[in-house]
Amino acid sequence: MAESFDVLTPLVTPFDADGDLDIAGLESLVRHVSAAGVDGIVPCGTTGEFETLSPGEYRTVVRTAADTAPDDCHVMVGTAATDVATVDERMAFAAEQGADSTLVVPSYYGGQASAAGNEAFFDAALADAPLPVYLYNIPGAVGQKLSVETVAALAQSDAVAGLKDSSGDLSYVTAVMNQTPDEFTVYQGHDGLFVPSLVVGGDGGVSALSHLLFDDLERAETAIESGDVPQARAVQRDVLSPLSEACAEFGFAPTVKALLADRGVIDHATVRPPRDSLSPEAVASVTERLE
Question: Is there a catalytic annotation at residue 145?
Answer: no
Which one is catalytic: 58, 134, 136, 172? Answer: 136
| Dihedral class, residue 227 (left if φ above 0, else alpha if ψ from -120 to 50, else beta) | left
Catalytic residue among 58, 134, 145, 164: 164
Q: CB neighbours of 257 closer than 8 A, spacing ≥ 6? A: 12, 14, 266, 268, 269, 270, 271, 277
Tell me which residue of 205, 243, 241 sits closest to 221, measured CA to CA.
205
Q: Do residues 173 and 188 lie in contact, with contact meaning Cβ atoms separated by under 8 Å? A: yes
Is 136 part of the annotated catalytic residue set? Answer: yes
- Quick check: 208 and 245 in contact, CB under 8 A? no
CA dihedral 180, 184, 190, 194 (to 10 degrees): 100
Tell me whether residue 206 is annotated as binding: yes
**Cα angle for residues 9, 59, 87 (degrees, 5° grid):** 80
| Distance of alpha carbon 201 from alpha carbon 162, whole angstroms | 14
- For the annotated binding site for pyruvate, the residues are 47, 206
- For the annotated binding site, the residues are 47, 206
Q: Which residues are catalytic?
A: 136, 164
